[in-house]
Structure 1
Amino acid sequence: MRRISDFRLLVSGLTLSWVGNGFQTVALAVAVVKAGGGPGDLGLVMAASIVARLACTLFGGVWADRLQPQRVMVVSDLIRMLAAAGMAVMFFSGGYHLALLCALAAISTGAASFFDPAFGALRPLLVPVEKRQSANATISMLQTGSQVAGPALGGVTVAAFGASAGFTVNALSFLASMIAALLLRVRAERGPRASMLSELGDGWREIRKRDWLMFGLFGATVYHIANGIILVLVQIVAIERLGGPSAAGFIAAAEGLGGLIGAAIALRFKPRRLLRAGWLTLLLMPLWALAYVWPAELIAVIAGAIVGYAGLIFFDVAWETAIQDQVPQRMLGRVSSWDYLTSFIAMPIGNVLAGPLSAKYGTSPVLTACAAVLFLSAAAQFLVPGTRRLTRPQVSPTPATRSPELAEATGS
């Protein structure tokens, strides 16, 4: 009962912060443009965020395993709240300083790099083993819904009250998340500390022990490079060939709907070989990319987005659940940080390659090749013995875990 109460409390605070991030996404672009900055300024702010993420993620994993993870989350939320408040004050006062904005963005993203591994380390403590998949699906559903609702609400708010209002809402959302983390009662067991480098190495050695995890991370790196290229090119295709900004909006909505469907399926469909099922559903994502090439019609792209993103989110739930099942809790922060790092390294590489590759070979051939890479990087995982054989642990629920309150909390 106590763990389920903590789960509800945490996801309530997190949902508010995820929605608040959507406000800041809109506010940042509007604020920079209205202050006289252009794509170059916005690109520098984004680059500062990426550099901070790359520099801090692995260290965030170490501290998540050294301390109680909720303590790391509280400090992270406090820093992010102050950074968002600083942006609100800067733009409200009319003083636009690019260097300060880059610094605040880097500080905020650096703090998030500590928050994410801590959240990864905390998640399996909040629900019993047999409810992890349902809990992960619930979190994915709320996060996906927030990524749709946040920018939509943020756009309305920024249009009505200005960019500073968007930053202010985001700061308040971090306050809500911080309060939720402060109220958590669950505790993780922590052992003696070693040097930072030694603990970083321990995280990687934990990954190497599991072939499904190590090759999964390599496959995900290749996947994210290709997907980084795709995400740039499909925006251009949507605007130039499929109907302009309105088409891009419809496609984004379809992606969100697909994600919600994938999470809803993960709530109910619980195979013993969950990881294998997850890699199978990830094979649907190339359909989304290929729809931009053929038939290259808006309705086909929307359908591909729904199907592809449903598969992607189901895979995310399966992957997170497998890590929580198989990796000792005391190592989860470091393993999660290596997982996050592969994505954050690979995606910007793909973004940078999109322009030169499309200029040399054409948009459609590059999209086709990248769709093939998506398919092969997922299909290759079935050559890994651990991926084929990994099963979820069988745990007989205790009477307490069969309670209606638990079923309601995790949607099962």
Structure 2
Amino acid sequence: MTATRTAPAEIADRPAHRDGNVLRWLAAYTASMTGDSVYYIALSWAAVQAGSPSQAGVVMAVSALPRALLMLGGGVIADRLGPRRVVIGSDVVRCAAVFAVAGLLYFTTPGLWPLAVLALVFGTVDAVFMPAVGALPARVTSRGQLARVQGMRGLAIRFASVVGGPLGGLGVAVGGEAAAFGLAGLLIAVSVPLLMAVRMRELPADDTAPARGDTAWRDLVGGLAYIRRHRVLAPLMLAIALGDLGFVGPLNVGLALLADERGWGASGIGWVLAGFGVGAGAASLLLTVRGRLPHAGQVAGYAILAGSVAIGALAYAPGVLAAAGVALLVGLLAGLSGTMCGALLQTQADPRYLGRVTAVSGLVSLGLAPLSMPVSAAAIGAWGAGPVFVGSAVVCGLGGVIALGVPGLRRAELPQ
């Protein structure tokens, strides 16, 4: 099932949006991400129905701990075993776990414990799935197409978030939690045969396997040393970390508190989030169509700086429509900087290190950045939304300063 299929060079060098191999990978990724969105809707609803709000919150947070603790090790596994094999195995495990819980909920009323176990399994599997997903594009297309693939991946994420929520709600409404979990498992299952049909590009022998005798620990240390010494990846990781730390708090918990403070209500939050989604989708579409933007490092830096200004301005929007317009600008700039940073990660990293590089980036985004949410909430409660949004904008802007201030990153280009 996990044997590697190789693609000849002439197939791999086609434009990504016309390459059937890339499109199969994209379809598999989209199905898996849509299944994830449905899964989170089903899990949150089932947890609320089975326990108190605080218990439901604990269940939803259970997956975060193993994901953060094991992410770096997951990057080593992805690089040692190969990303395609790891992604297929991860989707099989996630699919089986979701179907098992769906069966339990259909035949019994087991309470919260199977939901907590499912969340724990998902978090553990995500720790290897996410680095492998990040390392896979370099094996399915040529280096010159990786920027376009990053844009296509961004569109898939937007599609999954837009479609997955309504599908999850429909599943709960029609057949309850069991049906919603079953739908999530089915969508994840669709990705498996598609991934099995994806052909992998041949890479040099030293880029496809660790050196004989190397341990997993040596691979991990070697990957971290590789990032630390790299003239582009090292400052890029720091810029991503600062950008995420300044972005996640205001655009998650901060937005809800801002809407409550201004009296916008739930519909106001919806309009602002819609504006952000449209802007981020437009940025992904731009990179998908263009395939490459010149002066990638500078574009990322200026987009981070401009996006930080827009984040600070969001707290002072006079009304819902103005806030939605500012959020659209935030989404466009954040989407542009995010896709450019992702494309630079893909193209600057040696393929044999991509799993570990993606793991470090994922740990920053999924492990460190969420820590800003309770801090942002407490700060808004003490000082109001305006000063906190501005402070977060300053932190985010520092990422842009680093991107423009470090020569290696500022001069970084995407391959033609």
Q: 1:34 to 1:111 in 2, by over 3 A?
A: same
Identify the match of residue 222 of structure 2 among 192, 202, 212.
Answer: 202
Structure 2 Cα separation of the partners of residues 279 and 88 of structure 1:
45
Structure 1 Cα separation of the partners of residues 167 and 61 of structure 2:
26
Identify the match of residue 233 of structure 2 among 213, 218, 221.
Answer: 213
Deviation at residue 53 of structure 1 after TM alignment:
0.5
User: % of aligned pairs identical?
Assistant: 25
Partner-residue secondary structure (3-state), 1:237: helix
Contact 2:22–2:141 under 8 Å retained in 1: yes
Partner-residue secondary structure (3-state), 1:211: coil
Deviation at residue 199 of structure 1 after TM alignment:
0.5
Confirm or deny that 1:93 pairs with 2:114: no
Q: 1:75 to 1:353 in 2, by over 3 A?
A: same
Confirm or deny that 1:241 pairs with 2:262: yes
Alignment of 1:11-410 (within 5 A): 11-35=26-50, 37-186=51-200, 189-193=208-212, 194-230=214-250, 231-269=252-290, 270-394=292-416
Question: What TM-score results when the alignment is normalised by the length of structure 2?
Answer: 0.89
Tell me which amino acid in the other structure corresponds to 2:223.
Answer: G
The structure 1 segments of at least 4 consecutive aligned residues displaced by more than 4 Å after TM superposition are none
Structure 2 Cα separation of the partners of residues 306 and 335 of structure 1:
30
Partner-residue secondary structure (3-state), 2:394: helix
Structure 1 Cα separation of the partners of residues 185 and 314 of structure 2:
38
Partner-residue secondary structure (3-state), 1:97: coil
Contact 1:76–1:114 under 8 Å retained in 2: yes
Deviation at residue 358 of structure 1 after TM alignment:
2.1
Q: 1:288 to 1:150 in 2, by over 3 A?
A: farther
Corresponding residue for residue 23 of structure 2: 8
Answer with 50-59 or 361-370: which moved more.
361-370
Structure 1 Cα separation of the partners of residues 261 and 105 of structure 2:
33
Deviation at residue 76 of structure 1 after TM alignment:
0.4
Deviation at residue 49 of structure 1 after TM alignment:
0.7
Deviation at residue 239 of structure 1 after TM alignment:
4.1
Q: Which sections of structure 1, spanning at least 5 residues, go unmatched? A: 395-412
Deviation at residue 326 of structure 1 after TM alignment:
1.8
Deviation at residue 298 of structure 1 after TM alignment:
0.8
Tell me which amino acid in the other structure corresponds to 2:363.
Answer: L
Answer with 26-35 or 171-180: which moved more.
26-35
Tell me which amino acid in the other structure corresponds to 1:121.
Answer: A
Partner-residue secondary structure (3-state), 1:294: coil
Contact 1:80–1:112 under 8 Å retained in 2: no
Structure 2 Cα separation of the partners of residues 290 and 306 of structure 1:
14
Deviation at residue 92 of structure 1 after TM alignment:
2.3
Partner-residue secondary structure (3-state), 2:315: coil
Tell me which amino acid in the other structure corresponds to 1:210.
Answer: H
Structure 1 Cα separation of the partners of residues 142 and 373 of structure 2:
39
Deviation at residue 287 of structure 1 after TM alignment:
4.4
CA RMSD of aligned residues (A): 2.0
Structure 1 Cα separation of the partners of residues 34 and 104 of structure 2:
22
Structure 2 Cα separation of the partners of residues 255 and 38 of structure 1:
31
Deviation at residue 15 of structure 1 after TM alignment:
0.8
Structure 1 Cα separation of the partners of residues 262 and 132 of structure 2:
43
Structure 2 Cα separation of the partners of residues 89 and 296 of structure 1:
49
Tell me which amino acid in the other structure corresponds to 1:179.
Answer: P
Structure 2 Cα separation of the partners of residues 296 and 287 of structure 1:
16
Partner-residue secondary structure (3-state), 1:234: helix
Deviation at residue 242 of structure 1 after TM alignment:
4.4
Structure 2 Cα separation of the partners of residues 211 and 302 of structure 1:
38
Structure 1 Cα separation of the partners of residues 37 and 191 of structure 2:
15
Q: 1:272 to 1:105 in 2, by over 3 A?
A: same
Contact 2:36–2:188 under 8 Å retained in 1: no
Q: 1:222 to 1:130 in 2, by over 3 A?
A: closer
Deviation at residue 276 of structure 1 after TM alignment:
2.0
* Number of residue pairs the alignment of both structures matches: 393
Question: What TM-score results when the alignment is normalised by the length of structure 1?
Answer: 0.89
Q: Which sections of structure 2, spanning at least 5 residues, go unmatched? A: 1-9, 13-18
CA offsets 1:333-380 (integer angstroms, 9 cap, x no match): 111111111112222211221232223322221122112221222223
Answer with 260-269 or 43-52: which moved more.
260-269
Answer with 215-224 or 160-169: which moved more.
215-224
Deviation at residue 195 of structure 1 after TM alignment:
1.1
Answer with 280-289 or 350-359: which moved more.
280-289
Deviation at residue 147 of structure 1 after TM alignment:
1.0
Contact 1:83–1:104 under 8 Å retained in 2: yes
Structure 1 Cα separation of the partners of residues 177 and 11 of structure 2:
40
Structure 2 Cα separation of the partners of residues 378 and 254 of structure 1:
23
Structure 2 Cα separation of the partners of residues 179 and 64 of structure 1:
19
